[in-house]
Structure 1
Amino acid sequence: MGRNDSKVLVFLWKIKKDLGHEYTHNDLRNWLWKHLLSGQVVPGYGHAVLRKTDPRYECQREFALKHLPDDEMFKLVEALYKVAPDILIEHGKAKNPWPNVDAHSGVLLQHYGMTEMSFYTVLFGVSRALGCLSQLIWDRGLEVMVRRFEQKLGYRKLGRCMSSIVQITPYFLAAGVLCTLVEAVKLNCEEGRQA
């Protein structure tokens, strides 16, 4: 959960700086080859588990095609999507040459005015925490427990101990979100001092 979407944006800005607004797929291919042969990677491509295009990327792409088809950065992401996988396959070092969610998320956030890149990871963390928290609320309301797939015991069989854990867990989640926000503010302040 690093700053991968931010790295993708920096990468895209570098391409735009080098190629300008008017570029062909061939220009992009040549630029990518030069980039790869210099020992660098293409951020936003590859995934530790998936061996196909990340479904979250596909959802974001579908959204962008509908709502921001004329955005310059989206056009560049789209051009990369058409060019990069073949180059990465030919290059031979990538286990997964397909785009992941980070290839698109930063562009969408920028388009809708979220320009503070140091907060992107915070948004990711908060969304995860809220998802867990809502699940805990449902589980508490339905009197079921959060459990691993291999566990067979029900909520009531574990008794008071599990009840206490379920009551305390939202506070741990809230504390985790708060810590993430504090870290992001610290990073943002440090980046401001360095600039």
Structure 2
Amino acid sequence: MLQKGLEGIVAAQSTISLVDGEKGHLVYRGYWAKELAQKNSFEEIAYLLWEKRLPDQKELCEFKEGLKCQRELTSHEENILRELPEKMEMMSVIRTIISSTGTSDYQWPSSREQAIRVSSIIPTIIAKRHRLQQGKSPIKPDMELDHVANYLYMLTGSMPLNEHVKALTGYLILTMEHGMNASTFAARVIASTQSDLISSLTGAIGAMKGPLHGGAPSGVINLLDQIGSIEHTESCLRQQLEDGQRLMGFGHRVYKTQDPRAEALREITLSLATADPWFELANHVEKIAIQLLEEHKPGRRLYTNVEFYAAAILRAVSLPPELFTSTFTLSRTIGWIAHIFEQNENNRIIRPSSEYVGPLPV
């Protein structure tokens, strides 16, 4: 039987993550993702997804140093970055420069050294391109800062607040991996042909660029901007619902109960609400919105999704909307690589069938 979009079709067995929309579960390698997001660093969870276990202190230090040492772009990559058309979108910039790194050194099967190199330069690509487009000088990576703090530093040139690093780290951990989504499937299909890491990642980035997959949570920011203050929350949300408008950031195609990613980000933002009023507003809006959605649409099970708190966090750290999808890509690259490694380990070329429904010759 035809399943449009392959919905519900199992295409692989994986030990990387469990996504259970009915129960609201998200598990990374046997750990609750929401707990990892609140307690661990970006580097620890990247290591977990790639190596199938959390690192000890020595392994973590070595892994962090490996990422730091690869942050700088080569002169070749730097030249491409500066020569690309002004109107090229950031996702296309990332795709093009990552593709350009695919020398003969990148052969099947993929290696951790290759994975570290690609993961290290994506934040640099985003930050440098963004500053150049603003007419500003790029900021060199700070080798004393960890992955997430350095990304914020390269974007602004200022040392980021610890609260902002913690919030963004939680978001990036929770977007690293999410099962067999469109971009991950694209990466695994390409890897299954025994193509190289760069080809697989380039395909995944192309899939993420599509608005149906990597679309930014800009609608949530527009909603929060429109509300503006705690005092206006209920009246504004009621008006939107009475006008038949959708509340952005609520409801999810997979999760029919609480989105565990939103739960984790809520906990993070609640702990930081006193440090940033934007988090306080987001927490209040969520509370009122859930009440009103149950009142206006009883039984629909419309809960907060990850985009709601993603928007609050990305706005709080002053990340411009044009960088939302590329920042998502910065984290999801870790998950893509984990799937490429897994495909390499037990490979069979992925080749689904199609059903011909055209005319027959007479």
Match of residue 28 from structure 2:
none
Distance in 2 separating the partners of 1:93 and 1:126: 38
Match of residue 236 from structure 2:
31
Q: Deviations over 1:46-87 (max 9, x none)?
A: 111212221101111111122343422211211122111121
Task: Give the fraction of aligned pairs with identical amino acids, expressed as a percent.
Answer: 27
Match of residue 9 from structure 1:
221
CA drift at 1:29: 2.3
Match of residue 253 from structure 2:
48
Residue 319 of structure 2 is aligned to residue 107 of structure 1? no
- Residues 125 and 93 (structure 1), Cα distance of their counterparts in 2 relative to 1, 3 Å cut: farther
CA drift at 1:103: 0.6
Residue 334 of structure 2 is aligned to residue 130 of structure 1? yes
Q: Deviations over 1:90-142 (max 9, x none)?
A: 1127823210001111221222232x1022112223422331113423664xx
- Residues 113 and 28 (structure 1), Cα distance of their counterparts in 2 relative to 1, 3 Å cut: closer
Q: Select 1:82's aligned residue among 252, 266, 287.
A: 287
Distance in 2 separating the partners of 1:90 and 1:32: 12
Runs of 4+ aligned residues of structure 1 deviating over 6 Å after TM superposition are: none
Count of residue pairs brought into register by the alignment: 138
CA drift at 1:31: 2.2
Distance in 1 separating the partners of 2:314 and 2:274: 15
Residue 329 of structure 2 is aligned to residue 117 of structure 1? no
Confirm or deny: 8 A CA contact 2:273 2:280 kept in the other structure: no
Match of residue 92 from structure 1:
297
Task: Name the aligned partner's letter for residue 327 of structure 2.
Answer: L
SS of residue matched to 1:95: coil
Task: Name the aligned partner's letter for residue 136 of structure 1.
Answer: I
Q: Deviations over 1:29-56 (max 9, x none)?
A: 2321111111211100011121222110
Distance in 2 separating the partners of 1:22 and 1:139: 48
* Structure 2 unaligned regions, length at least 5: 1-212, 351-362
- Residues 34 and 95 (structure 1), Cα distance of their counterparts in 2 relative to 1, 3 Å cut: same
- Residues 113 and 31 (structure 1), Cα distance of their counterparts in 2 relative to 1, 3 Å cut: closer
Confirm or deny: 8 A CA contact 2:259 2:306 kept in the other structure: yes
Confirm or deny: 8 A CA contact 2:258 2:303 kept in the other structure: yes
* Structure 1 unaligned regions, length at least 5: 146-154, 166-195
TM-score when scaled to structure 2?
A: 0.35
Distance in 1 separating the partners of 2:236 and 2:315: 24
Q: 1 or 2, which has the higher helix percentage?
A: 1
Task: Name the aligned partner's letter for residue 72 of structure 1.
Answer: P
- Residues 94 and 2 (structure 1), Cα distance of their counterparts in 2 relative to 1, 3 Å cut: farther
TM-score when scaled to structure 1?
A: 0.61
Match of residue 174 from structure 1:
none
Confirm or deny: 8 A CA contact 1:4 1:44 kept in the other structure: no
Task: Name the aligned partner's letter for residue 125 of structure 1.
Answer: T
Residue 278 of structure 2 is aligned to residue 73 of structure 1? yes
